[in-house]
Structures are given as structure tokens and as C-alpha cells.
Amino acid sequence: MTIINKRNVLTLFALIMLIGLNSCKTTDAKDRRKELKLINWNTLYSFNHKRSTGLGANWIKQQAPDVLGLQELNGNTEKSLNEMAKSWGHEYSVILKEKGFPVGLTSREPIEVIERKVEGFHHGLLHCRTFGIHFFVVHFWPGKDHEARYILNKAKALLEREENVIVMGDFNSHSRKDSDFHATKEFEPLYDVVDMFEKAGFVDVVNKHDKKALVSFGSPILIPKWASTMKEVKARQARIDFIFADKALAEASSMSTILRSDKLDNISDHYPVIAKFSLPLR
């Protein structure tokens, strides 16, 4: 007959309980940051020439992104962007420059500025790191493909070090994946820049998750300054704002689309692009 020592049983039971508690703690730790919500938005001269700043800030607050990329922050400074960012719950913000057409980044977590590049770029490039991810915030200009090549060379080096990279912004370029839609429009699509990112292995996460999301530019706010009628507006509508993620991040993406509404029609001529990613990746 095998005699079971009561002390050994109690010790074994305590070990099982300890392992169970540690397992729960590990699971809870992963669940606390299981999703990263990202939005990119060209704001039309700081939310319709600053006439809709409150509307724009409130909309962002309601969406509660973790990271926000912005274009056309005209008329803003580092200080004024920081004040706006706090209104939607972001303690950290960076602006590329304080003249012309700045891009910017705001975040719930600290932002490390890697590079602010203006020289040789039409609008400029902002490269930052937050949430452990490298973000390139861009506002490209048609015909200046060297800007995309510069970013892709930087990104290649980061990916070789197994870093994660997102490139987001106003690309002023189109995707061949939307070519059927372009055939119904009155413009000549420009595919070169988007082609370059896809050839380099980056993934257009909107197209991955929502192939029906085809318009990021062309809201009624274009009337009357840039268009006379909605027919003219619709003839120019297209998807020119993108979030490109490296392959690992793209695999971790859970959704992505372009958000459109009557409220957004009155804030900018561009519509916000949203994506969600499950973290941690590794």
C-alpha cells in the first residue's frame, strides 16, 4: 500500500494554484493591450480652415484612437497641436514643422522622434516611434516618387532588424486594385507610388479588409470653391489616403476601412482611414 504524505499533497496543491494564478496574470497582461486603434486623416487646413476644429476634435475623441496621423495641420504649432491632442485624450504629439503644410502624429504613449525631413520633400516626412512601431507620416506630391523611395530605403533597414513599420498619410496616388472604380471617373489615375509600396511587400490594410471602401477624398465641402456641383465632386472621388503595414503587422490587423458620414462631410475634403491591430505581435 502506498502511503501519501499529507505535507506532499498540500505542497503539490499549492504549486498547482500558483501556476494557475501566474497563468491568469499572463493572460490578463496580454488582454490589457490586445488592440491598437489607428486613424489617419487629412484635415483640410486644420479641420476646414479651422472653422470645424471643435467638430473634428470631438469626433476624434469619440473614436478614441491610440495613435493618430494628421495631414494639413496648417496654422498649428507644436504647442497648439499638443493642446488639441489633449482634447481627444492624447498626452503626446509631434508636428513636422510650423509653416506650410505640416503633418503630425499624436499618441496615448510617448513618441520618439526619429526624423523630421523637409529638405528635398514637397511637404515633408515625419518618422516617429510609438507603441513599439515605426510610423512614417506622409503627404506625397504627384510626380515626386523619390520621396517614396527614400522612405522605403529607411523601412527596409528597419524590417531587416525585425522592427514593425507603418506608412500612412495622403499619398496623392491611387491603387491598381481600385482600377474598375477609376474607370468610371474623369481623371487619369496615378499608380506609381502605391505600386512601389506593394512591390516592397507592404500591405494596404483597407483593401485587405474592406474592398468596398473606395473613397477617401472628395466630400461636399469642395463646393463651391473647388467644385460647382456634387456631380463634379463624385467625378473626382477616389481613395488616395492609405495605411500601409509591414507583413507581420498586416497579419495582426483585425479591421480597416474608410469612415464616412454627414458629419465628416463638413469637417474636411478627405475622410479618415481607420485600422485596428492585435498586440503584442511577438
Per DSSP, 135 falls in state E
Residue 225, Cβ density class (10 Å: 0-12 exposed, 13-18 middle, ≥19 buried): exposed
Nearest to 245 by CA among 191, 211, 205: 205
Contacting residues for 114 by C-beta, under 8 A, at least 6 apart:
127, 128, 129, 134
- pLDDT at position 32, please? 52
Q: Which three cell numbers stand for residue 26?
A: 499572463
Band (16; pLDDT cuts 50, 70, 90): very low
- pLDDT at position 44, please? 98
Q: How far apart are the C-alpha atoms of 59 and 203, rounded to whole Å?
A: 27
Residue 70 pLDDT exceeds 80? yes
Q: List pLDDT tens digits, range 188-219.
A: 999 999 999 999 999 999 999 999 999 999 99
Proportion of the chain above pLDDT 70, given as a percent: 88
Helices 192-199 and 146-160: angle between axes, nearest 10 degrees: 10
Residue 3 pLDDT exceeds 90? no
- pLDDT at position 22, please? 53
Is pTM, for the whole model, over 0.85? yes
Residue 17 pLDDT exceeds 70? no
Residue 48 pLDDT exceeds 60? yes
Q: List pLDDT tens digits, range 142-158.
A: 999 999 999 999 999 99
Fold of 37-278: Deoxyribonuclease I; Chain A (3.60.10)
Residue 2 pLDDT exceeds 80? no
Task: Write down the domain spans for the chain.
Answer: 1-32, 37-278
Q: How far apart are the C-alpha atoms of 204 and 120, rounded to whole Å?
A: 26
Residue 99 pLDDT exceeds 50? yes
Lowest mean pLDDT among 22-26, 140-144, 172-176: 22-26
- pLDDT at position 36, please? 97
Nearest to 91 by CA among 73, 67, 115, 72: 67
Which amino acid makes up residue 49?
A: H
Mean pLDDT for 167-180 is 98
- pLDDT at position 7, please? 56
- pLDDT at position 279, please? 84
- pLDDT at position 34, please? 76
